[in-house]
Structure 1
């Protein structure tokens, strides 16, 4: 066996080295290889090999390039023409899709353009604005805790604007207060058009005052971002604008404001904001977070606007996702008519266009398929029932446990298709709303999607789980407690109690309940002995003692608490529970009580005299424990109920029965 030891050691060392090499390669930044010809730069990047997630579609990279002059590209190998000579910082943000490794670090490469031609070639600029607004925001990826991402803020002098030059302010709102922890931190901002950072006071000072100002919102967008807005709401002036800005800002913990100047008709300008997605961000990888942008023009004839960028937190980068907006609900205030808004995102990653896409989603049991409403889609289609032959359309097929959305006769380009440079054009989505069934339960509701492009294998998305917050349900509990069998001499044999309970609101699963009881003063008197005959002095006169009784008195003021109790409601009208009760005496007074019958010397009738002696008061003197089980009938989830509880005390051993009424709020 000895000759094999060196071989074993060598194999182990090779495995360790191989593992370390894999870890190191996982963090290698991309190598940017620029080819410069006068003012033209052709870019190529060498990235680490992808590590395929088992069972997922083929892994691939998506690219976001910043050229250092205020322009960008989503192409893999872009060609860019610079308008002027100079030193430019090129950045590449690559995202690994369906890959189980880490995202490649951001890489910066400087290029120097020393010549320019008199006739400049035109850059193939990607289409950015999908709506009619002045401001939109895109992200190069979905947020993943521990990674950075880029927000692309685009603003413009939109078509039809009533002014020839636009100036104003752009406000970015992030880190929603609805989440307990902040998820984003701005690491860097790159501006190229003399944008300057200002404070809220400066924004207000430059705001318009004309009463014709209106607030505006955009329709839903698509692709790498999602936007929503409301109809125009009239403003009366600067006072109302300030109130609106404060109202919009109140949803978020942080903001950043930039001053923009002199945007000419048809101009589109961009700012690049690198955001760190903090490791302590919400662990729920199906949660949807919102980053909002506000556009506040100086000219009172233009409408201020809001743009919402909705992002789903992810554990891995996957362009096919199912998301549920507002996944944590308050059961106390949720009604059956509450809208549950789902959105299924999909991307054609193939080498050719997709003409038919079938999106099948499982129907959570608590949601009512009859309430289905399709509120938005991309590509936009008419319903197949109204379409002419071969027209692009969408159809639905509803079964007992699923809903299928079928895009027919469409053209959705593939990311690997020749001539396709904008990843947004390869993406689509279906957005729909479902309401609850009657008698909804306080249980999680789960949905998942299967996406089929033409005749390819289905792609299974993440599980989207809607949950109700536990909530707190305070209650009051009153009852009568009596001993079974012989009573223990130093423990009062019966007591009335009033207590308070705290538990989960309207639970449908096993849950915990805590209880606290304040007990009124209880007295116990126990006979000890009787002595007969003797003489005594009473008020200076001799009397004969007919008899004298001795009692032991105990007076207790106590408290009882249930530190642990597990309950389960079998039906809406019956529930059971079991737990541990701790009983303590805040104050205990013990004394000897004497009562004597005296006969006067003049032959009059006997009379009684009494008195206390050897009195002793103790605080926190006794602590006892009890195991119990009970049964409740009534509105056991929320409301009034009656119950009976059997308790077995220890130290000393005793059994009691507690009859009670409770009301949970």
Structure 2
């Protein structure tokens, strides 16, 4: 039997959709066999990478590799084809970490090669120290972290942590996964042990107070490739100042690791650490996160070094990043300081003489609050130096913020004499402030980069989002029923009821429907009466302790009941603006009868004076069984006026109940 063509088509479509869904989450894998070629020289060993050919993006910039060589003896190089001399004969394993920039292919595999060094010790020191190590401690001379690349989710990031011990032992701490980012984006993978390092990833911060108390001074530096030139020295007058300083620093991170430094293992010690970049980072591929290193030596003169690491989708050096990329709407200040970084790279053969950054900053930013924090190439303002090598910035009439490097010389990646690719990069790091009041919506920024007279290169979009948080609230109010509902022969009158409740909803959604769930209790009274109705019978009563009877011709009843009600309203709401909000939903409700009483009135006639019949009544109390309602579902309409995002507001709610029929209430609400 042949399969109908429509079934076949549906199967193929669903299969292809399934594969598309699956493939979108799988990073491409390099199938090229990466290798390391070597050549024995009289004064060392020459290394050459064999990596898959780079694939240029159609119409894009020329791709290139960035290298980090681990020679297997605690020494490193960032040259493309370095030559290295080992201090001792023996067996070593060389590894190459490479990053593909502007490339349209997968990350290259990491090649390794075991080599045997036969150079005798007498031939040592014939080569100078690698430039990478020689210039490593540019920020403070003591302690620094180098990053090979930005953080791309699904890959790993390679760090080199270096310390110039100056004959002192101590401890190095690594802090990662900032709490403000809300991400566990970095996972420790491995670390070299050339200096007998042994990383401890389970360091309890509460046991570090005694260590912090012994710190006399701390030097803070920060880099982001290239160096920011930021250096701050904090001197502590007492132990509590030192403890407070480090407690605040460590408290900003979720992850803490450490290892010991022994000066006998070498004056300069370099350790390579790999961190896996988790898929959690995908939510913020325009954010800047930091990793902080702390070196606390035995003399108490500490060094703190931070390295900024942008999160990227691809290794494109032309990028705009934002910090913080996510904010908490509930705890935002009236003015929030935002840090933007625009980084760029000249990929030409000659030097770029002019680099102009035209930044499209959102309206949520007050542009005249621009404050430059760091830049590269380093130069003065054109207001100070009007000749060569200066910068200026200004705001266009359309709100574009322009930063212009004039008469500089930024080398190109295609230049034959370039050995350090970082020298072809530039950046600006600046702070701006937001408006006093922000809507709970994302806002975007991007930059057009002009190199000399070439067409602009447009960066990614740097987006700031508010965290998806929940807002608890409390309510208190009163409600009343309209009209006199009937139940069989009973006519009900409801007294004003009072309610108190709690609830939860997403925090201040901007122009989108959202759900809200509540739980509240209310108290109300109901008086019910049945009209006089014809009914004949006899009723006994006591007169002077003796039973007597009367014949009645009519009867009426009256009831009083007190109720405690529990309700779970669920609704869909919409905020029209900061002052008006509307919702519609249904409430699950159950009424508990906590008090009940009643009486019956009998109507009869008796002979009176002058033979005239007299109309009389007799009323007696009666016991009533407590009646709880079944669970009911009541539809309702709700309106809030006031601070409908956060803070106090006034609410009006109209509901329908099968017993009470139409009811309405007024309440106060405060959202936290």
Q: TM-score, normalised by structure 1?
A: 0.83
Q: Secondary structure at the match of 2:423?
A: helix
Alpha-carbon distance between aligned partners in 2 of 1:44 and 1:310, rounded to the nearest angstrom: 30
Alpha-carbon distance between aligned partners in 2 of 1:299 and 1:450, rounded to the nearest angstrom: 49
Name which of 113, 120, 128 aligns with 1:122: 128
Alpha-carbon distance between aligned partners in 1 of 2:491 and 2:50, rounded to the nearest angstrom: 83
Q: Which moved more, 1:597-606 or 1:45-54?
A: 597-606
Question: Relative to structure 1, is the Cα distance of residues 538 and 209 closer, same or farther in structure 2, using a 3 angstrom cutoff?
Answer: closer
Are the aligned partners of 2:147 and 2:159 in contact in 1 as well (CA < 8 Å)?
yes
Question: Relative to structure 1, is the Cα distance of residues 617 and 226 closer, same or farther in structure 2, using a 3 angstrom cutoff?
Answer: farther
Alpha-carbon distance between aligned partners in 2 of 1:432 and 1:320, rounded to the nearest angstrom: 16
Within-5 A mapping of 1:36-115 = 36-53=40-57, 56-115=60-119
Query: Residue 517 of structure 2 corresponds to which residue in structure 1?
Result: 514
Within-5 A mapping of 1:16-55 = 26-53=30-57
Q: Secondary structure at the match of 2:383?
A: helix
Q: Which moved more, 1:319-328 or 1:499-508?
A: 499-508
State the shift of 1:423 in Å: 2.4
Name which of 140, 149, 154 aligns with 1:146: 154
1:303-343 deviation digits (Å, cap 9, x = unpaired): 21211122122222221221111222233443343321111
Are the aligned partners of 2:517 and 2:569 in contact in 1 as well (CA < 8 Å)?
yes
Are the aligned partners of 1:542 and 1:600 in contact in 2 as well (CA < 8 Å)?
no
Alpha-carbon distance between aligned partners in 2 of 1:377 and 1:520, rounded to the nearest angstrom: 66
Query: Residue 578 of structure 1 corresponds to which residue in structure 2?
Result: 584
Within-5 A mapping of 1:63-462 = 63-116=67-120, 118=123, 120-126=126-132, 127-156=135-164, 165-195=167-197, 213-218=216-221, 220-223=222-225, 230-237=232-239, 241=242, 244-262=245-263, 268-281=268-281, 283-300=283-300, 303-389=301-387, 391-399=388-396, 400-462=398-460
Q: Secondary structure at the match of 1:166?
A: coil
Alpha-carbon distance between aligned partners in 2 of 1:386 and 1:515, rounded to the nearest angstrom: 62
Are the aligned partners of 1:27 and 1:102 in contact in 2 as well (CA < 8 Å)?
no
State the shift of 1:179 in Å: 4.9
Within-5 A mapping of 1:578-657 = 578-587=584-593, 594-597=600-603, 606=616, 608-612=618-622, 615=625, 617-618=627-628, 621-626=630-635, 628-648=636-656, 654-657=661-664
Question: Relative to structure 1, is the Cα distance of residues 257 and 194 closer, same or farther in structure 2, using a 3 angstrom cutoff?
Answer: same
Query: Residue 6 of structure 1 corresponds to which residue in structure 2?
Result: none
Q: Secondary structure at the match of 2:415?
A: coil
State the shift of 1:460 in Å: 1.7
State the shift of 1:553 in Å: 4.7
Alpha-carbon distance between aligned partners in 2 of 1:410 and 1:433, rounded to the nearest angstrom: 23
Are the aligned partners of 2:604 and 2:617 in contact in 1 as well (CA < 8 Å)?
yes
The answer to whether residue 558 in structure 2 is matched with residue 543 in structure 1 is: no
Question: Relative to structure 1, is the Cα distance of residues 611 and 408 closer, same or farther in structure 2, using a 3 angstrom cutoff?
Answer: same
Are the aligned partners of 1:477 and 1:663 in contact in 2 as well (CA < 8 Å)?
no
Question: Relative to structure 1, is the Cα distance of residues 348 and 150 closer, same or farther in structure 2, using a 3 angstrom cutoff?
Answer: same
1:478-502 deviation digits (Å, cap 9, x = unpaired): 1323236855568955452424343
Question: Relative to structure 1, is the Cα distance of residues 406 and 195 closer, same or farther in structure 2, using a 3 angstrom cutoff?
Answer: same
Alpha-carbon distance between aligned partners in 2 of 1:418 and 1:474, rounded to the nearest angstrom: 65
The answer to whether residue 538 in structure 2 is matched with residue 530 in structure 1 is: no
Are the aligned partners of 1:522 and 1:557 in contact in 2 as well (CA < 8 Å)?
no
Q: Secondary structure at the match of 2:262?
A: strand
Q: Which moved more, 1:474-483 or 1:581-590?
A: 581-590
State the shift of 1:515 in Å: 3.1
Alpha-carbon distance between aligned partners in 2 of 1:251 and 1:634, rounded to the nearest angstrom: 35
Alpha-carbon distance between aligned partners in 2 of 1:205 and 1:125, rounded to the nearest angstrom: 38
State the shift of 1:172 in Å: 1.6
Alpha-carbon distance between aligned partners in 2 of 1:89 and 1:114, rounded to the nearest angstrom: 14
Are the aligned partners of 2:169 and 2:261 in contact in 1 as well (CA < 8 Å)?
yes
Alpha-carbon distance between aligned partners in 2 of 1:206 and 1:662, rounded to the nearest angstrom: 48
1:82-137 deviation digits (Å, cap 9, x = unpaired): 33322221111111223344312322111212235737233542222231241110
Task: State how many pairs are aligned.
Answer: 630
Query: Residue 477 of structure 2 corresponds to which residue in structure 1?
Result: 478
Question: Relative to structure 1, is the Cα distance of residues 53 and 598 closer, same or farther in structure 2, using a 3 angstrom cutoff?
Answer: farther
Alpha-carbon distance between aligned partners in 2 of 1:167 and 1:643, rounded to the nearest angstrom: 65
1:422-479 deviation digits (Å, cap 9, x = unpaired): 2222222101111123444333221111222222332222211122344515132413
Are the aligned partners of 1:57 and 1:459 in contact in 2 as well (CA < 8 Å)?
no
1:628-657 deviation digits (Å, cap 9, x = unpaired): 3344444444444445444455x6894444
Alpha-carbon distance between aligned partners in 1 of 2:623 and 2:508, rounded to the nearest angstrom: 54
- Unaligned 5+ runs, structure 1: 1-11, 13-19, 158-163
Q: Secondary structure at the match of 1:419?
A: coil
Are the aligned partners of 2:195 and 2:265 in contact in 1 as well (CA < 8 Å)?
no
Q: TM-score, normalised by structure 2?
A: 0.83
Cα RMSD (Å) of the superposition? 3.8
Alpha-carbon distance between aligned partners in 2 of 1:336 and 1:382, rounded to the nearest angstrom: 33
State the shift of 1:169 in Å: 2.0
Query: Residue 505 of structure 2 corresponds to which residue in structure 1?
Result: 503
Query: Residue 17 of structure 1 corresponds to which residue in structure 2?
Result: none
Alpha-carbon distance between aligned partners in 2 of 1:660 and 1:210, rounded to the nearest angstrom: 57
Are the aligned partners of 2:176 and 2:253 in contact in 1 as well (CA < 8 Å)?
yes
Alpha-carbon distance between aligned partners in 1 of 2:487 and 2:212, rounded to the nearest angstrom: 83
State the shift of 1:606 in Å: 4.4
Question: Relative to structure 1, is the Cα distance of residues 519 and 438 closer, same or farther in structure 2, using a 3 angstrom cutoff?
Answer: closer
Alpha-carbon distance between aligned partners in 2 of 1:386 and 1:402, rounded to the nearest angstrom: 24
Alpha-carbon distance between aligned partners in 2 of 1:362 and 1:418, rounded to the nearest angstrom: 35
State the shift of 1:76 in Å: 2.1
Question: Relative to structure 1, is the Cα distance of residues 240 and 68 closer, same or farther in structure 2, using a 3 angstrom cutoff?
Answer: same
1:248-299 deviation digits (Å, cap 9, x = unpaired): 333333333222233899x543111122223345632223322111111212
Are the aligned partners of 2:601 and 2:617 in contact in 1 as well (CA < 8 Å)?
no
Are the aligned partners of 2:335 and 2:436 in contact in 1 as well (CA < 8 Å)?
no
Alpha-carbon distance between aligned partners in 2 of 1:385 and 1:82, rounded to the nearest angstrom: 51
Alpha-carbon distance between aligned partners in 2 of 1:200 and 1:420, rounded to the nearest angstrom: 43
Alpha-carbon distance between aligned partners in 1 of 2:203 and 2:596, rounded to the nearest angstrom: 70
Are the aligned partners of 1:229 and 1:307 in contact in 2 as well (CA < 8 Å)?
no
Q: Which moved more, 1:357-366 or 1:598-607?
A: 598-607
Q: Which moved more, 1:286-295 or 1:522-531?
A: 522-531
Question: Relative to structure 1, is the Cα distance of residues 251 and 366 closer, same or farther in structure 2, using a 3 angstrom cutoff?
Answer: closer
Are the aligned partners of 1:39 and 1:85 in contact in 2 as well (CA < 8 Å)?
no
Alpha-carbon distance between aligned partners in 1 of 2:355 and 2:28, rounded to the nearest angstrom: 40
Are the aligned partners of 1:492 and 1:522 in contact in 2 as well (CA < 8 Å)?
no
Q: Secondary structure at the match of 1:431?
A: strand
Query: Residue 568 of structure 1 corresponds to which residue in structure 2?
Result: 575
Q: Secondary structure at the match of 1:457?
A: coil
Question: Relative to structure 1, is the Cα distance of residues 661 and 167 closer, same or farther in structure 2, using a 3 angstrom cutoff?
Answer: closer
